[in-house]
C-alpha cells in the first residue's frame, strides 16, 4: 500500500511540475508581427466591418453562385442596380446611364401619315424602329447618343 501511495504521489508531483512548466514557460513575443501576416476575414454569420480596402477577384452570391460581380470582367446579377444619384452630361463616356438621364435625353415619338413626322425642336432622329410607313422613331438631344 505504501508503494502505491508513493507512485500516486510521484505521478501527481510530475503532473504539477509539467503543467507549471507549460504555463509559466510561455512568454509573449518580443518583436512586431511579420508584415506578411494578414488578419483573416471572419467567416461567421455575424456582420463584419473592414476599415481598409478589400481586394477580391470575384464576389459570388452566397445563396446562388450563378450571380456574381466580377470587377475585371462580366457580372451576372438578379434584380436592379439602383443609384442614389443621377447620371449627368459631365460624367465620363463609360458611365452607366440612369433611367432618368436617358429619359431626359431621348424620346420615343410615333410617326406616320396622321401623326408626327419629325422630332421635337432640339432633338435628332437617331433610329427608326420600324421599316413600315408608320411606327416609332427615337429622337435624342444629341446626334448620336449610343
pLDDT in the model for residue 84 = 79
Instruction: Please state, rounded to an integer, the average pLDDT across all residues of the chain.
Output: 78
The contacts of residue 101 (CB under 8 Å, 6+ apart) are 86, 87, 88
> For residue range 56-69, what is the model confidence (pLDDT) as tens digits?
889 999 888 999 89
Structure-model confidence comparison of residues 74 and 128, the more confident one: 74
DSSP per-residue string spanning 50-107? -SS----S-EE-SS-TT-EE-TTS--B-SS----SS---TTS-TTPPPPHHHHHHHEE
Residue 129 grid cell: 424602329
Asked whether residue 104 is assigned to any structural domain, the reply reads yes
Asked whether residue 79 is assigned to any structural domain, the reply reads no
Residues paired with 110 in a beta bridge: 136
Between 28-32, 48-52, 92-96, 141-145, the lowest mean confidence (pLDDT) is in 141-145
Asked whether residue 131 is assigned to any structural domain, the reply reads yes
Asked whether residue 4 is assigned to any structural domain, the reply reads no
> For residue range 62-103, what is the model confidence (pLDDT) as tens digits?
888 999 898 888 888 888 777 777 777 777 777 777 777 777
Banded model confidence at residue 143, pLDDT cuts 50, 70, 90: low
Mean pLDDT, to the nearest integer, of 104-130? 75
Residue 85 grid cell: 444619384
Asked whether residue 11 is assigned to any structural domain, the reply reads no
Asked whether residue 62 is assigned to any structural domain, the reply reads no
**Total count of domains within the chain:** 1
Asked whether residue 127 is assigned to any structural domain, the reply reads yes
Look up the pTM and report it.
Answer: 0.40
Residues paired with 68 in a beta bridge: 60, 76
Per-residue pLDDT for 144 more than 80? no
Asked whether residue 10 is assigned to any structural domain, the reply reads no
- Write out the residue range of the structural domain in which residue 126 sits: 99-140
Residue % of the chain over a pLDDT of 70:
87
Residues paired with 128 in a beta bridge: 137
Amino acid at each position: 500500500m505504501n508503494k502505491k501511495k508513493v507512485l500516486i504521489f510521484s505521478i501527481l508531483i510530475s503532473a504539477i511540475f509539467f503543467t507549471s512548466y507549460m504555463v509559466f514557460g510561455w512568454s509573449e513575443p518580443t518583436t512586431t508581427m511579420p508584415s506578411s501576416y494578414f488578419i483573416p476575414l471572419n467567416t461567421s454569420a455575424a456582420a463584419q466591418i473592414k476599415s481598409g480596402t478589400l481586394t477580391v477577384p470575384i464576389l459570388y452570391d452566397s445563396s446562388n453562385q450563378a450571380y456574381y460581380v466580377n470587377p475585371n470582367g462580366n457580372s451576372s446579377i438578379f434584380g436592379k442596380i439602383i443609384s442614389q444619384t443621377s447620371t449627368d452630361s459631365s460624367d465620363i463616356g463609360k458611365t452607366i446611364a440612369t433611367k432618368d438621364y436617358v429619359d431626359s435625353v431621348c424620346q420615343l415619338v410615333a410617326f406616320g401619315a396622321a401623326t408626327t413626322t419629325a422630332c421635337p425642336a432640339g432633338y435628332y432622329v437617331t433610329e427608326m424602329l420600324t421599316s413600315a410607313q408608320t411606327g416609332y422613331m427615337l429622337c435624342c438631344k444629341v446626334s448620336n447618343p449610343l
